[in-house]
Structure 1
Amino acid sequence: MRKLFGCTLLIALVASAAGYGYWAEQREVGHYLSDLRIKLAVNDGADQGRGNLLGIEPDLSPRDFQSLALVHLKLSAYLNSARNDGLLNDKTIVILPEHIGTWLMFRGEKNELYQAANLNEAMRMLALSNPLAFANAWLRADGDNRTNDAHLRMKARHMASDYQSLFGGLAKEFGVTLVAGSIALPDPRIENGQLLPGNGPLYNSSLVFGHDGALLGAPQRQLLPTYEEQSYIQPSPDHQLNVVDTPAGRLGILIGSDSWYPENYKILNEKGAQLIAVPAFIMGKNTWEQPWGGYKSVSTPSEISLKPGEVTEGEAWHRLTLISSAPSSTAQAGMTVFLRGKFWDKRSAGRGFISRNGQTSADTSGTGAQLLNVWL
């Protein structure tokens, strides 16, 4: 009897494991109708033949990342709209928001993940439907938050490939220089023209693609992630800021709140940056209108007198982003763009703005996809 019970239990366990394995491998593609509309919120200046900075604030949801075809459909629709408005040429620099590449971690997942009630449930589903990959990544994870690290690390190889295919393809398709927001990858590097993840800590990095679809320069790592992010996203160890040559001029990138530090503008001045792109991301539906919480990575720079709570989050971004504010920045112009949309129970905030001559031209609408353009 004991032997029979043991055999029955073993068969049940094998059947359960086989059923779980089969379930985890299923990847049905659900039907999804995406909103492809976008409006031109800011159009500063006139075409002088010197090119332009074109910011895209896409309105995205998890379903948009179910396949590369879906996210390409949405972004190409936005770029087609810009082309129809006469905003694309061979000197155009397109700027996308921070972490737009990081959401590629959800590409090709089960329908149950996209239907999750909240982000925490979606992350649990991500681990459950990739059990071996998640376990392997968790063992190799770096930082205090091993779970968040593992979620990203287990998808890193596919994310890097998808990121280059998607954004390099869009740059080539539309003949523009494209600042592809940012993506969180372990120790990213470029070898023989290919973006590859390593085995080290996770970095939030931005990459630029030329109008031929090829990568320009090295990955720009975020220098100072927030304290919360630093539990799994590490600060750039070399504090290096890169400048790349584009048809419109020398371009520097400051990811998110890296744009709040005067020292970073001094470095870009020394490297001859004429243009500055700021891919940004803020979580929270009403965060833009709420009191500013202060610097969230290091102590307040000595040059900054702004105190937490003194202004709103949006006002702080306008005050602290010093693009073209002489003598801090000698850049001709720059642009800050934010991701829009709802990711399960989390909404993104932020309203993009153009910086030129020490002044800002801002998007005043908080909903829907937006284009921001400044002629150089």
Structure 2
Amino acid sequence: MPAPSEPRRFRAVAVQPQWGASDFLTSARFQRWMRAQLEAARPHLHPQQPNLVVLTELNGLPLVLRGGWLAAATRRFEWAAGLLLLQHLPLALPILWWERVSPVRALQLARIDEHTALYLQTCRALAREYGVWLVCGSTPMPHYRREGRRLRREDASLYNQTVILAPDGTLVGCTDKVHLTPDEGPAGVDLTPGQLEWLRVFPTPVGDLGVAISLDAFRPDVVTRLEQLGCTVLLQPDANGSPWTALEGLYPEGQTPRDQPLAWLESSWQVTAHSSTIRYAINPMVVGNLLDLSFDGQSAITGPAAEAPHPRSYVMTSPRPGFLALLPWVQERGTPEQLRAVGQQLAAHSGHPRENRYRSGVLHADLSLPPSTRHPTPAGAHEQAISALLNGEADMAPPSVLQHWLWLVAGLLLGLVLSPRAGHGQRR
């Protein structure tokens, strides 16, 4: 770590991977998929300076498919969710009964402890093996508390959460996504929004890191909060669930929707173009068709115009300064109508020869910042619990199936006993 008076010089690396359902069917496949991203980043790592590697949003969400070979074969999200719920009903049904959550939330919570442990231990091993500051992307994760050598989730909430690890595999911090898209809400994967006041900034040798997951980087309240906390490097892990050249799906009422790449300029690029505090932003985007869902985009690293004088921009937008690194889209030239057509050809179930032939890749940029004047804020109870798991001081052995069902049967019997009594007090 540089001395306090020295500038921080480091390399930022953004990985744009391609995913598919088969990458998540076993623990070994998931580990290979994650490791392949760090292996792709290896040639871009600086040999002498610290490296900051940023992965993509919700790269742990498809772990719900683990072991669900038949579900993955349906190639439909809703059908797969139904089959998975049946497959894991012994674990999910008591959660449905006791915690009064949706079937989709119950399905995720049924094995969330083992998925969280797999995700964190995989990322910890990669951070240590490659010696990088690793922004793990994000994954659905509850808030945990430590009870002796066991971790237990606080409640039935499930956040879209980013975890940052140091090169030795220790925890730097966690951040929850504040603004959820409709696909992340009750009608989709049913996640829980984080709270604006929970956002923090993490001082490190690779910047004072603030996380704005996907939609959060478009929202002034999140950006302003991170600026007030002293953020100098904005991290925007992303999973854009629509064709890249389609019209934007989220826009103010009464406003005409724009081409999505044009709308995307209002996130990382706009932040670094106008913020007096946030100097750089790193926005990796995942691509690929996951069942019947399509993900596409252009990963980018943005910063001061003086450091990126060569004008360039997303496809379908005019060149401009501020892009330090930008991954090209699959086709750079054509009319808007032609480019929109290509986006639809790439999408799931298009039947076109170009289906699922997205562009993956890795970007890097060398960044420099003045010394940090910030001090780390104390870790919260959840971060302390995650640290204990990563350090081997605690584990998350979930309750047995038998214990789940004993609680369910006890609840049903209690309901039968109390229901007649409750009726006596009712007016007719």
Q: TM-score, normalised by structure 2?
A: 0.67
2:359 maps to 368
Provide closer, same or farther for how the CA distance between residues 119 and 336 of structure 1 changes in structure 2, counting only shifts above 3 A.
Answer: same
Provide closer, same or farther for how the CA distance between residues 351 and 68 of structure 1 changes in structure 2, counting only shifts above 3 A.
Answer: same
Q: Mind listing any 5+ residue stretches in structure 2 that lack a counterpart?
A: 1-6, 306-321, 331-357, 368-428
For 1:334 and 1:195, the matched residues in 2 are separated by 34
Shift of 1:349: 1.8
Provide closer, same or farther for how the CA distance between residues 228 and 116 of structure 1 changes in structure 2, counting only shifts above 3 A.
Answer: closer
For 1:180 and 1:85, the matched residues in 2 are separated by 17
- 1:314-355 CA distance string (max 9 Å, x none): 2111134333223x3522211111111221122212221121
Within-5 A mapping of 1:254-265: 254-265=212-223
1:134 maps to 92
- 1:266-290 CA distance string (max 9 Å, x none): 2222222111110111213x2x212
Q: Secondary structure at the match of 2:13?
A: strand
Q: Does 1:356 align with 2:315?
A: no
Q: Does 1:73 align with 2:29?
A: no
Aligned residues: 313
2:335 maps to none
Letter in 1 for 2:207: G
Provide closer, same or farther for how the CA distance between residues 49 and 189 of structure 1 changes in structure 2, counting only shifts above 3 A.
Answer: same
Q: Does 1:243 align with 2:195?
A: no
Within-5 A mapping of 1:326-365: 326=274, 328-357=275-304, 359-360=322-323, 361-365=325-329
1:167 maps to 123
1:40 maps to none
Letter in 1 for 2:29: L
Contact 1:193-1:215 within 8 A present in 2 as well: no
Shift of 1:137: 2.4
Q: Does 1:324 align with 2:324?
A: no
RMSD: 2.6
Contact 1:276-1:335 within 8 A present in 2 as well: yes
Contact 1:351-1:363 within 8 A present in 2 as well: yes
2:9 maps to 50
Q: Which is richer in strand? A: 1
Q: Secondary structure at the match of 1:93?
A: strand
Contact 2:11-2:49 within 8 A present in 1 as well: no
Q: Does 1:313 align with 2:260?
A: yes
Greater displacement, 230-239 / 183-192: 183-192
For 1:192 and 1:174, the matched residues in 2 are separated by 32
- 1:139-181 CA distance string (max 9 Å, x none): 24556xx122112111211111111111111111111111111
Q: Does 1:180 align with 2:136?
A: yes
Provide closer, same or farther for how the CA distance between residues 364 and 190 of structure 1 changes in structure 2, counting only shifts above 3 A.
Answer: farther
1:24 maps to none
- 1:31-64 CA distance string (max 9 Å, x none): xxxxxxxxxxxxxxxxx98111111111111111
Contact 1:54-1:95 within 8 A present in 2 as well: yes
Shift of 1:209: 1.0
Contact 2:127-2:133 within 8 A present in 1 as well: yes
Q: TM-score, normalised by structure 1?
A: 0.76
Letter in 2 for 1:75: M
Contact 2:9-2:49 within 8 A present in 1 as well: no
Letter in 1 for 2:327: D
Provide closer, same or farther for how the CA distance between residues 225 and 141 of structure 1 changes in structure 2, counting only shifts above 3 A.
Answer: farther
Greater displacement, 114-123 / 199-208: 114-123
For 2:236 and 2:148, the matched residues in 1 are separated by 27
For 2:132 and 2:168, the matched residues in 1 are separated by 8
Letter in 1 for 2:166: G
Identical positions, percent: 22
For 2:256 and 2:50, the matched residues in 1 are separated by 39
Shift of 1:117: 3.1
Letter in 1 for 2:363: L
Contact 2:45-2:51 within 8 A present in 1 as well: no
Within-5 A mapping of 1:114-129: 114-129=72-87
For 1:162 and 1:336, the matched residues in 2 are separated by 25
Q: Mind listing any 5+ residue stretches in structure 1 that lack a counterpart?
A: 1-47, 301-305
For 2:35 and 2:96, the matched residues in 1 are separated by 35
For 1:126 and 1:88, the matched residues in 2 are separated by 45
Provide closer, same or farther for how the CA distance between residues 192 and 172 of structure 1 changes in structure 2, counting only shifts above 3 A.
Answer: farther
